[in-house]
Amino acid sequence: MTQGDTNTSMEYARTLYYALTDLLDAISYSDRAMEDQNDLDDFNTQIKVRMDRVDKIKDDISKLLKAFQEEPNSKGFQEYADQLMEFTGVLLGKYKDKVSKEIASNQQNILNSVESDRSKATKSAEAFFARDPIPVNERNFSVKFVDGAYDVRIKNRCPRDIYYEFAANTKDSELLKSQLYFSSLSRGFKIPVRTAETWISKDPAVDYEKLDRYFMESAELTKQNLSVIFMDPEKESQFKIVLSRADSSIFMDVEYSDRIQKVDVTSQPALNNKLESGELTNIMDKITKNIADLQSKKLKLIKLSLRDTDILTKMNYFDLIINVFSIIEEEISPIISRLLAGEKLAISGSDVLDLEFLKGKLALFEERAKEVASALGMSGIMDRINPA
């Protein structure tokens, strides 16, 4: 096995280890949250039944008094019946108020427990996916200037329709820690935006737009493309610049628009010939590097979904871990074989992946352990390791 193969193998060993810690924690917390939610639903049902019974007591007393009043020799009872009903209403009302306060307190305690476990489940999933533990089919960075700061989202689409999205921390970014003006990238840079005939020369005159006052309003970075919009709010004008790479080729598209017109700069030879493409490419490369560097500065897990299911809302972490294991089944198969042979794999610090660890974690899945083992490509392993 080459050094590269060894490193790759250890990366998947770490994925297995952290899936059996972080994602298993997420499953545990989500199970507790759902149990608490079920308890809250049952509690609310019982309270409704109790309150309905209190109302029925008042109705029953009213019917009893009415029946007594209709009996012979009950003349003059109406006055006492009214007083009794008023007194009954006051007492039952006080009782309902007292119970309602107790109910509200109990409901809030259960709700706090649900939200706490939901938050812990999210944080556990966040810890797992912050490591980018599974192959990514498509990754892009979305940048938007919002409320005086750059909101950067790192969006990842993975096999089996797993999607996760992180917000990135921009406060230490060289370019994105504050509003980025073009003058910070290249002072005095100009782009040709229109031509006009002159009587002095046969060649058309070229009008330039200076970009110093333009700021980066948004950007989108993928594996091969960077698309950036610089705008000047006062002039209501903007430049859309797209840099694309394919093998050794570089493609640049520049589009200018304002309240009056839209100009495709790079499609007009007279303008494109005056465009300082080399310097603009260097500027775009610098932006690319600064955005890509945010991959290691994840701040918070914003979205996590499996197919059409919002995992953070539905808390269906068990289905998620099954799909994660299915994605990496082929890569972890030799790792499982090494564990079954008694090998111990050092993960990080004192963390070790070995057969005892695997047995203990599978046991925590209880009745779902066989399904997990199957997703790991270990359909018959339960009989061999027999987790207690």
d(CA 383, CA 378) in angstroms, rounded, equals: 10
CB-CB neighbours of 257 under 10 Å? 16
Considering the entire predicted model, what is its pTM?
Answer: 0.81
Give the pLDDT score at 174: 94
Identify whether the C-beta of residue 263 lies closer than 8 Å to the C-beta of residue 271.
Answer: yes
Identify whether the C-beta of residue 86 lies closer than 8 Å to the C-beta of residue 61.
Answer: no
3-state SS class at 261: coil
Give the pLDDT score at 370: 81
d(CA 132, CA 135) in angstroms, rounded, equals: 8
CB-CB neighbours of 310 under 10 Å? 12
Q: Any bridge partners for residue 208, and if so which?
A: 192
Identify whether the C-beta of residue 32 lies closer than 8 Å to the C-beta of residue 44.
Answer: no
Identify whether the C-beta of residue 347 lies closer than 8 Å to the C-beta of residue 14.
Answer: yes
Identify whether the C-beta of residue 13 lies closer than 8 Å to the C-beta of residue 332.
Answer: yes
Write the pLDDT tens digit of every residue in 155-200: 999 999 999 999 999 999 999 999 999 999 999 999 999 887 544 5
**What one-letter code names the amino acid at 159?**
P
The pair phi, psi for residue 199, each rounded to 5°, is -80, -15
Give the pLDDT score at 73: 67
Per the listing, tokens 């029953």 go with: 60
d(CA 320, CA 305) in angstroms, rounded, equals: 9
Give the pLDDT score at 269: 92
Interhelix angle 24-69/355-364, nearest 10 degrees: 20
Identify whether the C-beta of residue 216 lies closer than 8 Å to the C-beta of residue 234.
Answer: no
d(CA 347, CA 15) in angstroms, rounded, equals: 10
**What one-letter code names the amino acid at 250?**
I
Interhelix angle 3-18/329-340, nearest 10 degrees: 90
Task: Name residues of the chain where pLDDT drops below 50.
Answer: 1, 3, 198-199, 387-388
Sign of CA dihedral 44, 50, 53, 54: negative
Write the pLDDT tens digit of every residue in 206-220: 899 999 999 999 999
Q: Give residue limits of the domains in the chain.
A: 3-129, 170-296, 322-385
Give the pLDDT score at 220: 98
d(CA 177, CA 170) in angstroms, rounded, equals: 5
Give the pLDDT score at 95: 75
**What one-letter code names the amino acid at 72?**
P
The per-residue DSSP string of 117-172 comes to HHHHHHHHHHHHHTT--S--SEEEEEEEEETTEEEEEEEEEEGGGEEEEEEE--TT
CB-CB neighbours of 81 under 10 Å? 17
Instruction: List the beta strands (DSSP E) in the chain.
Output: 138-146, 149-158, 162-168, 190-196, 205-210, 215-221, 225-232, 237-246, 249-257, 262-264, 298-306, 309-310, 345-348, 351-353
